Amino acid sequence: MPKYVFITGGVVSSVGKGIAAASLGLLLEARGLKVAMMKLDPYINVDPGTMNPFEHGEVFVTDDGAETDLDLGHYQRFTHAKISQKSNATTGGIYHTVIEKERRGEYLGKTVQVIPHITDEIKRRIRMLTAEPEDDADVALIEVGGTVGDIEGLPFLEAIRQFNLDLYPQPCCNIHVTLVPFIEAAGELKTKPTQHSVRALRDIGIQPQVIICRTGTHELGPDQRRKIAMFCNVTEEAIIGAPDVSPVYAIPLNLKKQGYDDIVLHTLGMTAPEADMKAWGAFVDKIRHPAHEVRIAAVGKYVEHEDAYKSINEAFVHAGVANDCKVRLEWVDSEVFENGTLPKDKLAPFDGVVIGPGFGSRGIEGKIRAVNYVRTSRKPFFGICLGMQIAVIEMSRNCLGLPRANSTEFDTDTPDPVICLLSEQRGVRELGGTMRLGAYRCNLREGTKAREAYGSESIDERHRHRYEFNAAYQQRLEKEAGLVVSGVHPKSDHELVEIIELRDHPWFCASQFHPEFTSMPLRPQPLFRAFVKAALEFRKSRVPGEATAVPIA
């Protein structure tokens, strides 16, 4: 049985619980331990799949097709934990299961209540994380979303309290992440909100053994540590200061210096060899001191919300390090190209252009115009999911002379549906969890940029889409537009196009899948790495002396 660590948050939301959990997972793995990770989300949605990216951020997809919270992306980027359907549980999903059991009569006529039935289901989900032999782990890290004091989070906290008691005398470790605000008028950090947050947690019956204090641009001083330790009943050594650190990958190193992993292992009654963080430290150093830089324009429709494309942002960081280069990723709202701005005027200064995923018709025509510009100007281009579909629409309109070519997602009456609904999606009415989700095999063709990037005949990448390339237009696009289908998934009735390229273009590649979901700091995603390399070569070809080091501000 694994040892359990629970991570809660206080004072405000978005305080950094996910990074605190992922950092601990990284440090424990560096000490030779195997970890499992899980996020408990209090919202009533069954999963975040139907949520607006403006409100919730990106939906992170796992190999087995779960649509999950973006914090699971942090878990995967920081650790080697197996992230799956079992790694995310929500209030909606838990209540759905309990109600289904009640309808089947499994509670034998008892009154179904939050305690014990909801809390029992929460605890069952926690145990399921490591129930199978292949899921065996030394330490299970369980993050609870939301903030202590939220009504919707109370069943999760009660379940954790019970779980601590159920495992007695085996110790658990409870970590609380809080905000310690700096009050400008007083000129000091204030610990009172943290004291109240811990008091609320203790009122529920949970005593934290570690408190991580987010302090913004300020350092937690010894006086604040002593005060928090005294009023929160925690040793001073277990008060961890967490000022803002850039890049985010440096946070585990900062926490390591304060003995974060040592304190947790001591609380759990465990020992392990000292962590070897040399490779991780070298990665962080490369981010901070690159030799070159490139500017990439990301044309999208959720540009006001950074978390909407979180995995794409991070994949470019990883690919940049692999090319010893700083990637300056700048988001461009595709709607500006529908309101009079020419793509050439906006995109000319950039070394490459990426068009990422999205849903709905807003901003689509602007993306089509952006693809037309990069295709004709021979600027490196990378399309992801919808980005691939946009590229097909653009070539169909401008190379095949089909002015109304479109996706049936945007125009159900198009005479040329070059992008159409997947056959298995016909008749689907419910939106949640019904797309083509998870990892699928893609066979790569020889002599293509995709095959060169991956160095493999076949790959497995994650998907999240309802529409596909219409194979009826493939021959014309190959003959008249120079299209190359470089990756396909073998289906029973036809080959589903997974990757397209252009024959006579320096680097024009687009995938139906989401490569960003599999990128890791020390194992950058191959297509991202190849695209950044192409952008760097494009920059060097047009900027004299670019082969020399470029100072980074």
Residue 539 in 3-state DSSP? helix
Q: Report yes or no: 25 and 160 within 8 Å, Cβ to Cβ.
A: no
Q: Report yes or no: 440 and 460 within 8 Å, Cβ to Cβ.
A: yes
Query: What is the rounded CA–CA span in Å between residue 375 and residue 419?
Result: 19
Q: Which of 67, 143, 516, 546 is catalytic?
A: 516
Contacting residues for 106 by C-beta, under 8 A, at least 6 apart: none
- Going from the C-alpha of 227 to that of each of 26, 132, 175, 194, 195, the distances in angstroms are 30, 44, 18, 10, 9
Q: Does 172 qualify as catalytic in the annotation? A: no
Helix 386-398, helix 364-377: angle, nearest 10: 70
Q: Per the structure block, which two tokens stand in for 442?
A: 């893609």
Q: Which of 74, 292, 505, 514 is catalytic?
A: 514
Q: Report yes or no: 315 and 519 within 8 Å, Cβ to Cβ.
A: yes
Q: Does 537 qualify as catalytic in the annotation? A: no
User: Rounded to the nearest 5°, which phi and psi values hold at 131?
Assistant: -75, -35
Q: Which of 232, 325, 385, 420 is catalytic?
A: 385
Contacting residues for 441 by C-beta, under 8 A, at least 6 apart: 458, 459, 460, 489, 490
Query: What is the rounded CA–CA span in Å between residue 113 and residue 98?
Result: 10
Query: What is the rounded CA–CA span in Å between residue 190 and residue 221?
Result: 11
Angle at 530 between CA 73 and CA 372, to 5 degrees: 95
Angle at 453 between CA 308 and CA 552, to 5 degrees: 60
Q: Does 385 qualify as catalytic in the annotation? A: yes
CA 452 to centroid of chain Cα atoms: 26
Helices (H), ranges, 183-326: 192-204, 222-232, 251-257, 260-268, 278-288, 310-322
Q: Report yes or no: 191 and 234 within 8 Å, Cβ to Cβ.
A: no
Contacting residues for 241 by C-beta, under 8 A, at least 6 apart: 213, 215, 219, 220, 225, 258
Q: Quick count: other Cβ atoms within 10 Å of Cβ 553? A: 4
Query: What is the rounded CA–CA span in Å between residue 534 and residue 325?
Result: 12
Active site residues: 385, 514, 516
